[in-house]
């Protein structure tokens, strides 16, 4: 590792120590299970929405073994309005796999983590690094952007994480595992708070002095002109309305109650059929519907 990379690590870690967010899953004593739950919940969901639900979740199910014994209905009710509830069911499958394969413990090995249901490259690396302090590149959208800007001057590195992104991030890691873990956390936070996609705050950046993007003028290409996406009335919206109705009901819901949620039969049926197909809703005798048991 060259002197520039040593400088990068020192700068971002010192910066993080001063301004890093006080997120509950970063608190001392958080278990590997707590970190895993936080990563699954935070996918496509702002951490401000995740934090209170995460706290309640860990108080109710502090270990994979306890969570594995929960019913599907309890899981989905606890997930609430976090969105993309299939994540909750995959996390439930993951907990059961942890009990069956690892006696209820969350492994530190990335390969074993990736073999779990619903755990991909990013989540496996995040648990191994953030909890077990292993030396791996943890690459999300924020990290890809910071690495691209700092090393090549490009404003971004594309829409999806590639093998080249992993190599580029790995090349910046210090050799010591504990220092590398601190570096990874700090780099991700820098992308989330300062080196943002549309409005980077270079004047606040601890590495702007050696950033190639800043040296090139820090010009962010104009975003494509797009109309705001409509949500109300979409199939996803109707799915959410159905899920909310079922979460709030202590007993199975008749079809007539679901029919009252939206006026378009075709969209309503598409939403309900999709929920059943995804395992989020069970169709019961008597044309009634409920959360899975």
Q: Is the pLDDT of residue 1 over 50?
A: no
Tell me, what's the pLDDT at 231?
86
Q: Give the pTM.
A: 0.92
Tell me, what's the pLDDT at 32?
98
The DSSP secondary structure of 44-61, one letter per residue, reads: TS-HHHHHHHHHHHHHH-
The model's pLDDT over 268-279, given as tens digits with 9 standing for 90+, comes to: 999 999 999 999
What average pLDDT does the chain have?
94
Nearest Cα to 272, choosing from 249, 256, 286?
256
Q: In angstroms, what CA-CA distances link 174 with 16, 19, 138, 167, 273?
A: 16, 21, 13, 14, 50
Give yes or no: 204 in active site.
no
CB 94 within 8 A of CB 123: no
Tell me, what's the pLDDT at 2?
47
Nearest Cα to 95, choosing from 171, 159, 31?
31
How far apart are alpha carbons 18 and 16 in whole angstroms?
A: 5
List of residues 6+ apart from 46 with CB closer than 8 A = none
Query: Residues 94, 99, 101, 106: is their CA dihedral positive or negative?
Result: positive
In eight-state DSSP terms, residue 290 is E
- Mean pLDDT, to the nearest integer, of 209-217? 97
Q: Is the pLDDT of residue 3 over 60?
A: no
The model's pLDDT over 99-155, given as tens digits with 9 standing for 90+, comes to: 999 999 999 999 999 999 999 999 999 999 999 999 999 999 999 999 999 999 999
Q: Is the pLDDT of residue 23 over 70?
A: yes
List of residues 6+ apart from 63 with CB closer than 8 A = 31, 33, 104
Task: Kindly state the tokens that stand for 35.
Answer: 């970190």
The model's pLDDT over 43-102, given as tens digits with 9 standing for 90+, comes to: 989 999 999 999 999 999 999 999 999 999 999 999 999 999 999 999 999 999 999 999
pLDDT classification of 226: cutoffs 50, 70, 90? low
How far apart are alpha carbons 146 and 140 in whole angstroms?
A: 10
């Amino acid at each position: 590792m060259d002197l520039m990379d040593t400088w990068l690590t020192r700068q971002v870690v010192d910066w993080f120590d001063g301004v890093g967010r006080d997120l509950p899953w970063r608190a001392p004593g958080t278990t590997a299970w707590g970190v895993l739950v936080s990563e699954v919940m935070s996918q496509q969901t702002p951490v401000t929405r995740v934090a209170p639900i995460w706290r309640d979740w860990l108080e109710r199910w502090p270990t994979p073994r306890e969570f594995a014994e929960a019913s599907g209905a309890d899981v989905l009710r606890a997930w609430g309005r976090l969105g993309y509830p299939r994540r909750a069911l995959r996390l439930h499958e993951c907990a059961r796999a942890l009990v069956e394969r690892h006696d209820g413990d969350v492994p530190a090995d990335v390969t074993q983590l990736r073999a779990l249901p619903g755990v991909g490259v990013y989540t496996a690396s995040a648990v191994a690094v953030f909890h077990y302090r292993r030396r791996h590149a943890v690459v999300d959208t924020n990290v890809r952007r910071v690495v691209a800007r700092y090393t090549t001057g490009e404003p971004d590195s594309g829409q999806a994480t590639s093998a080249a992104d992993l190599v580029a991030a790995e090349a910046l890691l210090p050799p010591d595992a504990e220092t590398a873990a601190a570096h990874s956390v700090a780099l991700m936070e820098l992308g989330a708070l300062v080196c943002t996609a549309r409005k980077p705050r270079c004047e606040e950046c601890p590495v702007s002095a050696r950033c190639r993007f800043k040296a090139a003028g820090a010009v962010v290409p104009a975003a494509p002109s797009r109309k705001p996406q409509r949500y109300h009335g979409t199939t996803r919206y109707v799915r959410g309305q159905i899920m909310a109705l079922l979460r709030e009901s202590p007993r199975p819901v008749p079809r007539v109650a679901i029919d009252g949620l939206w006026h378009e039969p075709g969209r309503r049926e598409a939403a309900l059929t999709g929920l059943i197909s995804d395992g989020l809703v069970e169709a019961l005798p008597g044309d009634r519907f409920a959360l899975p048991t």
